[in-house]
Structure 1
Amino acid sequence: MVATPTCTMAPSTPRKSLRIGVIMEEIQLSDIVGIDIFGNLSHAFYIKAIGLDPSVATYEPQTLDIEWFYIASTLDPTFATPSVHFVPTVTYDTCPRDLDIVIMGGPWPDHRPAPADRFFKEAWASTRVWMTVCTGSMWLASSGVLDGHRCTTNRMTLNHAKAAIPGVDWVDRRWVVDAKPYDGEGEGELWTAGGAGAGIDMIAQYCIKNFGDKFVHAFSLDGLEFRPDAVHGQFYTKPT
């Protein structure tokens, strides 16, 4: 008697997981709009989208499991412009230090809470990717972790940044990518952007680079009608 062979199905590839921290305290809301690009790549968004368009099922293996950490000084409703209040999910003291990505907008220079400074220093080398938008780079630089790094900031405050924090190599670009220390596997990355529009384009380019052009356009950029390559690139077209 010949045994009937059994059929063994290959296990599916696990979805990529990301833990993303977002620092929104005392910033302009448009600074962190780009997080929606990540959000549209999530499996949670896919579950909603497939109900509207079954053809997106082909992208299911590429979707991401994302855990979000919204960070501020306290868990009380926290201010962002224009008169928006959001509810943080963690504080600077309770947020994990070993996130995959931290994204931060830029407050005025008088907003420098000590717990935030401590978080920057403690999480800097244990978080692989750090992104800043607008004057967020100046806030991060005030902690000292950006000394020696090439960065940019809002173009209107670039000269002020050069004078106030000369240890950073400030450059006039829409966004800049530099290496950073990282204690885990892989290379640490520092992404700094100018104003909010540059920040959206920067995050779009990061996602295209890491998650695939077709997937990112089909699931996120096209639906949001963001066009990071249509007009602007990494460099300004007009001098200051």
Structure 2
Amino acid sequence: MSTLNGPKKLRIGVMLEEVQLADIVGIDIFGNISDPYVSGVISVDPKYAKFGPHAVSIEFFYMATTLETSFMTPPQAGSDSLGGFKFVPTVTYDDCPRDLDIVLIGGPLPSHRPPQADKFMKEAWSKTPVWLTTCIGSVWLASTGLLEGKTCTTNKEFLDMANQMYPGTNWLRQRWVVEEKEYEGTDGRKGELWTAGGAGAGIDMIAHYCLKRFGHEFVNTMSLEMLELNPGGRYGQFYT
């Protein structure tokens, strides 16, 4: 189950500099299917032992421009006097591997466009098969030109802005959109681009991605039900 369409070792890059914490909460869905978490749950309650063989070895790369403590959660970002959530990056955009398995992009304001991040996205785009964006993270990705001709979505409150800024992208008013993308790997995987609306839609999108990728019972039991994040993926791609 955990080896479906790819290696057991999963390397996930997270672009979270100057984004809201809610934008990248979906990484916990991955965390709950990881080796350490599954092993820990089994040690507490052996009834979950059947899921042990499906646990995934995951390495997260938390990216920022430098390795110095970085800010999240605008509008406080960049101001010590105003506070705000801070994190310690584990890798810079310059040093992060380009051939990851997944890149997850949160949504900073359009004023945040470090050239190092632009370079990373352009160089990693065709080497990493799966890209997930939440909120206006798709607008950040679009700033590279990589979404020209692609069908995507973004936070529904910023769709007009996205259309004005990047008219070459087909922006849909959906909770998330799945699109094919370029991938030059030789491992048999296909390139996938998953773009979501606001943070809540992004969490549901990541839940659906994991359900598809790693198996419904495993993900639903070990991750979604334990986190109480929409168990079973009841909310779909479309606004009602």
TM-score normalised according to structure 1 size? 0.91
Choose the corresponding residue for 1:18, options 10, 19, 24. Answer: 10
| Counterpart position of 1:84 | 85
| Counterpart position of 1:176 | 177
| Counterpart position of 1:208 | 211
What SS does structure 1 have at the residue aligned with 2:57?
A: strand
| Counterpart position of 1:51 | 43
- Judged with a 3 Å threshold, the aligned counterparts in structure 2 of structure 1 residues 70 and 230 are, in CA distance, closer, same or farther, namely closer
| Counterpart position of 2:116 | 115
- Judged with a 3 Å threshold, the aligned counterparts in structure 2 of structure 1 residues 154 and 47 are, in CA distance, closer, same or farther, namely same
| Counterpart position of 2:150 | 149
- The answer to whether the Cα contact below 8 Å between 2:15 and 2:105 also exists between their aligned partners in 1 is yes
Return the alpha-carbon distance in structure 2 between the equivalents of residues 40 and 231 of structure 1.
19
Shift of 1:120: 0.5
Shift of 1:229: 5.4
- The answer to whether the Cα contact below 8 Å between 1:205 and 1:228 also exists between their aligned partners in 2 is no
- Number of aligned positions between the proteins: 223
Shift of 1:232: 2.5
| Counterpart position of 1:35 | 27
- The answer to whether the Cα contact below 8 Å between 2:69 and 2:86 also exists between their aligned partners in 1 is yes
Return the alpha-carbon distance in structure 1 between the equivalents of residues 233 and 90 of structure 2.
36
- Judged with a 3 Å threshold, the aligned counterparts in structure 2 of structure 1 residues 215 and 200 are, in CA distance, closer, same or farther, namely same
Letter in 1 for 2:97: P
- The answer to whether the Cα contact below 8 Å between 1:201 and 1:228 also exists between their aligned partners in 2 is no
| Counterpart position of 2:131 | 130
> Any gaps of 5 or more consecutive residues in structure 2?
1-6, 75-83
| Counterpart position of 2:236 | 233
- The answer to whether the Cα contact below 8 Å between 1:102 and 1:129 also exists between their aligned partners in 2 is yes
Shift of 1:231: 5.4
- The answer to whether the Cα contact below 8 Å between 1:176 and 1:234 also exists between their aligned partners in 2 is yes
Return the alpha-carbon distance in structure 1 between the equivalents of residues 30 and 13 of structure 2.
12
More relative contact order in 1 or in 2 (CA 8 Å, sep 6+)? 2
> Any gaps of 5 or more consecutive residues in structure 1?
1-14
Q: Runs of 4 or more off by more than 4 Å in structure 1?
A: 228-231
| Counterpart position of 1:3 | none
| Counterpart position of 2:107 | 106
What is the alpha-carbon root mean square deviation over aligned residues?
A: 1.2
Return the alpha-carbon distance in structure 1 between the equivalents of residues 220 and 234 of structure 2.
16
- The answer to whether the Cα contact below 8 Å between 2:155 and 2:198 also exists between their aligned partners in 1 is yes
Q: Percent identity?
A: 58
Return the alpha-carbon distance in structure 2 between the equivalents of residues 46 and 213 of structure 1.
16
